Structure 1
Amino acid sequence: MKANQGAQPYNEINITPFVDVVLVLLIIFILMTTAAVQGIQVDLPSASSAQTLEAQKSRVIAVSNDGTISIDAIPMSLSELEGELRRSVSTTPDLAVILRGDRAVQYDRIMQVLDICSKVGVPSLGMASTRPPGGGA
């Protein structure tokens, strides 16, 4: 006795599992992109007379407490940072760079980033800080 008597072979591919996998990957991609846009979490020091820098033509360099350097939430080495800043300054002459250094990071790491900004010729450099509670405008 044959089990498939009279049964015809499949002429179509069932794509339902494929669609499920694609939708899950899409959701994961959306969540990861949203997390990357928010940036690197840095514990900023406070300043009593902090000024706001326009963020329209700016790049944000973050130095986390473990010394990791990232530009616009993309981790990179010092040589990669220098190349990226050179490209940014050449395409945007009035580029502003905002440096966000964690309060626990070694001062030497901040100085290395400042040295690269100076070497590349960044026209405008600001250092991010938090305003103290009850501080000025």
Structure 2
Amino acid sequence: MQVNDDDKPYDDINITPMLDLAYVLLVIFIIMTTASVQGVKVNLPKASASVSLAKPQTKAITVADSGQIFLDAFPVTLGELEQRLRTLKATTPEFPIIVKGDANVQYQKVVDILDLLRRLDLSQVGLVTGKSPS
């Protein structure tokens, strides 16, 4: 019978499982940071109760305090907004829209957008408000 004299400790560490874990964490980090859409920061008016309107394919129309209009964080004019919404309606007849208007914006800008949505016969419209401070 022969005795094996290979009782020496390992000279190197297998780092393959550690690299696999690092790659998985890197992929998760990349996906999580790109998944959050930045949008446009506005000072929302406060309401006593707020409802979550988060649905797939929801389009967000934002009116900044300067009066600039944004469609999903991209600046547009009222004419461009109408054209893009007509194109979206042609591909998807019913899609939800949320309107976010800054508390300091002229009320007429928000009314113009709501009038445009009514003319395009888009009925799934919600107004976004912030939570009341109480």
TM-score by length of 2: 0.70
Distance in structure 1 (CA, Å) of the matches to 2:42 and 2:55: 18
Q: Which residue of 1 aligns with 2:107?
A: 107
What do residues 32-57 of structure 1 show as CA deviations (whole Å, max 9, x unaligned)? xx6x9301111001111221113312
| AA partner of residue 122 (structure 1) | L
CA distance in 2, matches of 1:85, 1:107: 21
Q: Which runs of 5+ in 2 are unaligned?
A: 1-33
Which letter maps to 2:39? G
Kindly indicate whether the alpha-carbon contact (under 8 Å) linking 1:57 and 1:94 is maintained by their aligned counterparts in 2: no
Where do residues 77-116 of structure 1 align in structure 2 (5 Å cutoff)?
A: 77-116=77-116
Q: SS at 1:75's partner residue?
A: strand
CA drift of 1:90 comes to 1.8
Q: What residue in structure 1 maps to residue 73 of structure 2?
A: 73
Does the CA contact (< 8 Å) of 1:89 and 1:121 recur in 2?
no
Percent sequence identity is 36
| Cα distance in 1 between the residues matched to 2:48 and 2:90 | 34
Deviations 1:66-103 (Å, cap 9, x if unpaired)?
Answer: 10001000101100000111111221222000000000
- Matched residues, number: 101
Which residue is 2:21 aligned to?
none
SS at match of 2:130: coil
Q: Computing the radius of gyration over CA atoms, which structure comes out larger, 1 or 2?
A: 2
Question: Runs of 5+ in structure 1 lacking a partner?
Answer: 1-33
Deviates more, 1:113-122 or 1:95-104: 113-122
Alignment of 1:1-137 (within 5 A): 37-134=37-134
Task: Give the AA of the match of 1:90.
Answer: A
Coordinate RMSD, CA, aligned: 1.8
Partner of 1:26: none
TM-score w.r.t. structure 1 length? 0.68
